Structure 1
């Protein structure tokens, strides 16, 4: 008697076998995955950098083709656009540093100047304390065990050296990772069309049946993340500039630094605006409580205007995620990976929400058509 084994049954048995091995040797599996992830981390960071830079690159390529439509000039389109994209990012970073660093220095100087009296008063109190004077009079170095003190000092120096070496190693590792990620992102941007063609060939060869739905999922996630990044950056830039101009007109200090903080805070949905306003109030309160109150009123009005006017116009309904799910995405993302998770889970939830909504509509249409066919 011939027994016919279906390919799906073999796939199911193989999947259960792999799951059994993963559960049985979970420690070795996690260690192997951590090793692979650590080795591939520069490449993963390079992919993220290339994806973000590609959003700017598209705009520069479109502008380049409009300015230089000739066939000879097209050969330099990618190189010129890549240089301009990275140069734009570098200019923005340098500009932020030039705006923030002087404000931080002045803030630290002000805090030191305001608290110098408190520190001097504390020192005078310690020196005039009777217990401190009695201790200093009865202080006798002969009663100390200098061998133990020498060992403690030796341990302290050794611990300090270990800390210094560990810090230096971390800096070198981070620098190496950043350099590799930077050059890998450039390679990805140069050869992105070639990589796309190779990906489509692999899908056509091995996964032709699921290529169309898979590519639809990829496109949905790409649209969600690109719309979110571009929209949030535009809205955050408008909010940061408006905050800077408003603080200058009202005569509130630290306008540059708080404008930058407001920009970066606006990149985080819901919670970012609260964090930016809180930092600004604390810094300004050290200078003038009245100006801190004025800033608080101003930033509340500005954020309400942004939420009701600017954000809908700039971002619109490109994300397509209801506010309740935005709040849920921020909470879940913050609990998993902190601030970075708050920023990344919103477009992730938006893409999943859109895919689920499409699938529900498709199933309901099929269910509505079934009685007609019968």
Structure 2
């Protein structure tokens, strides 16, 4: 007797079986996924760093080819490009730290000096309070429960020791992750052509039927993210320098630090300007409330000029995402992963928007 097996029924049965396994073993699977993701974290960070550094590497390699001709010179193209790219990033970080740290220390000292007056007033009122002094006189060491005190001190020191060990472990783990990510990013940049060839061979072998649309999607995402990163960095630098110059002309305090904070905040769409302005207003308010009001008016005018003039000229329409979708991307990204999510979802939405718009246009014409 011949048994006829329906493929649809078999697929349904297998799907239900795998669903049952997924439900039963989900805790073990989730734990395995977390462990696997933790192991991949340094490599993922290294890949992101390599992608960002590669934007600089392309420019340096183009400049190197323009300055040095010949096959012998071409051998050192990648080496010098990588060295100059990382040196540029480290130099920018060093300059930012050198500019911000002195003013940050000055600001903290000012805040401490202002708050020390409040603390002195509090201590004076504490010393002259008759009821508190009377309560202190009634405290007799003989009535204290020393066993409880000893237990409290024991657990307190034990908890502190555990906290110190945990903090040290986190620092070491973070440093190790950063080091692995750094070296992995260098390897990716050195062998990026070889990796690209291997990736293309895999697509030709296993995904040849969808090669063209898949490569179009990859190129679109790469174009959106590259333009977004380069454009946002340029616009942030211009905005930070303009803020510093304007504050210097108006003789406002902490011009360098607030200019850097404004530039960093400008990397975050929509809410970044608000965060930068808020920090600047709080810092200046500790020195002079009137100057804080002037700074608030100045930063609002500067943001309007940037949004209407600088940003369209620098970034242009390279992202091609309407304002309403930028706002939606910021809200979704912020809900999923905070500030990092805001920065990543805007080019993601831009790429999806471009792909969908192109496909809709083709279907409408066809």
TM-score, normalised via structure 1 length: 0.94
Aligned to 1:153: 153
- In the superposition, relative to structure 1, how do residues 11 and 48 fare at CA in structure 2: closer, same or farther (>3 Å)? farther
- In the superposition, relative to structure 1, how do residues 311 and 93 fare at CA in structure 2: closer, same or farther (>3 Å)? same
What is the rounded CA distance, in whole Å, between the counterparts of 2:46 and 2:269 in structure 1? 25
Equivalences, count? 365
Aligned to 1:249: 249
1:344 matched to 2:353? The reply is no
Superposition deviation, residue 118 in structure 1: 1.4
What is the rounded CA distance, in whole Å, between the counterparts of 1:12 and 1:355 in structure 2? 33
SS state of the match for residue 69, structure 1?
Answer: coil
1:223 matched to 2:223? The reply is yes
What is the rounded CA distance, in whole Å, between the counterparts of 1:167 and 1:140 in structure 2? 39
Aligned to 2:286: 286
Q: Pairwise mapping of residues 168-187 of structure 1 onto structure 2 (< 5 A)? A: 168-187=168-187
Q: Pairwise mapping of residues 134-149 of structure 1 onto structure 2 (< 5 A)? A: 134-149=134-149
Aligned to 1:298: 298
SS state of the match for residue 210, structure 1?
Answer: helix
1:261 matched to 2:270? The reply is no
Q: Which moved more, 1:230-239 or 1:105-114?
A: 105-114
Aligned to 2:165: 165
- In the superposition, relative to structure 1, how do residues 365 and 23 fare at CA in structure 2: closer, same or farther (>3 Å)? farther
Superposition deviation, residue 217 in structure 1: 0.7
Superposition deviation, residue 361 in structure 1: 1.7
Superposition deviation, residue 298 in structure 1: 0.9
- In the superposition, relative to structure 1, how do residues 33 and 201 fare at CA in structure 2: closer, same or farther (>3 Å)? same
What is the rounded CA distance, in whole Å, between the counterparts of 2:29 and 2:312 in structure 1? 46
Structure 1: gaps spanning 5 or more residues: 367-374
Aligned to 1:371: none
- In the superposition, relative to structure 1, how do residues 11 and 350 fare at CA in structure 2: closer, same or farther (>3 Å)? farther
- In the superposition, relative to structure 1, how do residues 79 and 363 fare at CA in structure 2: closer, same or farther (>3 Å)? same
- In the superposition, relative to structure 1, how do residues 97 and 362 fare at CA in structure 2: closer, same or farther (>3 Å)? same
What is the rounded CA distance, in whole Å, between the counterparts of 1:224 and 1:5 in structure 2? 46
- In the superposition, relative to structure 1, how do residues 10 and 244 fare at CA in structure 2: closer, same or farther (>3 Å)? farther
Superposition deviation, residue 362 in structure 1: 2.2
Aligned to 1:275: 275
Q: Pairwise mapping of residues 1-374 of structure 1 onto structure 2 (< 5 A)? A: 17-366=17-366
What is the rounded CA distance, in whole Å, between the counterparts of 2:360 and 2:18 in structure 1? 32
Q: Which deviations, in whole Å up to 9, do the C-alpha atoms of 1:41-75 show, x marking residues without a partner?
A: 10000000000000010000000100112211000
- In the superposition, relative to structure 1, how do residues 254 and 221 fare at CA in structure 2: closer, same or farther (>3 Å)? same
What is the rounded CA distance, in whole Å, between the counterparts of 1:19 and 1:49 in structure 2? 37
Superposition deviation, residue 190 in structure 1: 0.1
Q: Which deviations, in whole Å up to 9, do the C-alpha atoms of 1:295-336 show, x marking residues without a partner?
A: 111111111100000000000100010000000100111011
TM-score, normalised via structure 2 length: 0.96
What is the rounded CA distance, in whole Å, between the counterparts of 1:225 and 1:206 in structure 2? 27
